[in-house]
Amino acid sequence: MKFVPLALSLLALVAASSASAASPNPCAIVSASDASTAIGVKVGKGKAQTLGLYRSCFYSKGGKSLTVQTRQIGKSDFVKSAKANPKPVVPVPGVGDAAYSAAGGAVFLDYKGGTEITFLFVGVSPFVATQTDLAKNALKHL
């Protein structure tokens, strides 16, 4: 019976690996040039990694950074997850199937056709127009 929890844990890891593998590569959908424009400093190649269910790409220079995360998720789960972000959480129309700006602009969450793209900004507070331009460009690469 002790093997049941271990088996469930292994199954969860396989499911997480499969979900993140199905997600688009965030370094491919947001280029270094796009990241540079969004955070206002020239950055080099993004650092890719997998974080749980997310595939992640990290761009930084100095005290400014942009992390782009992708994952596969249903729309209702995306909306619930997006609304659980630090307040204020504001819907942003016209970007994908659903989009939200959260945490005073530090987080932008976008959803289209089963894929979530989350943009995390540190050291910069981009305008919503900058966030939506970045998200719309990323959606073209899905």
What are residue 67's DSSP bridge partners?
Answer: 58, 120
Q: What is the CATH number of the domain that holds 128?
A: 3.40.1000
At residue 54, what are phi and psi to the nearest 5 degrees?
A: -100, 145
Q: Into how many domains does the chain fold?
A: 1
Cα 86 → chain centroid: 15
Mean pLDDT for all residues in the chain: 87
What is the predicted pLDDT for the residue at 3?
32
Q: How confident is the model at residue 65 (pLDDT cuts 50, 70, 90)?
A: very high
Higher pLDDT, 51 or 20: 51
What is the predicted pLDDT for the residue at 112?
97
Best CA proximity match to 39, nearest among 12, 59, 19, 13: 59
Higher pLDDT, 124 or 10: 124
What is the predicted pLDDT for the residue at 21?
53
What residue numbers bound the domain in which 49 lies? 3-139
pLDDT average, residue stretch 1-12: 33
Question: Taking a C-beta distance cutoff of 8 angstroms, is the pair 141, 126 a contact?
Answer: no
What is the predicted pLDDT for the residue at 25?
97
pLDDT average, residue stretch 122-134: 91
pLDDT tens, position by position, 75-126: 999 999 999 999 999 999 999 999 999 999 999 999 999 999 999 999 998 8
Best CA proximity match to 59, nearest among 138, 132, 140: 138
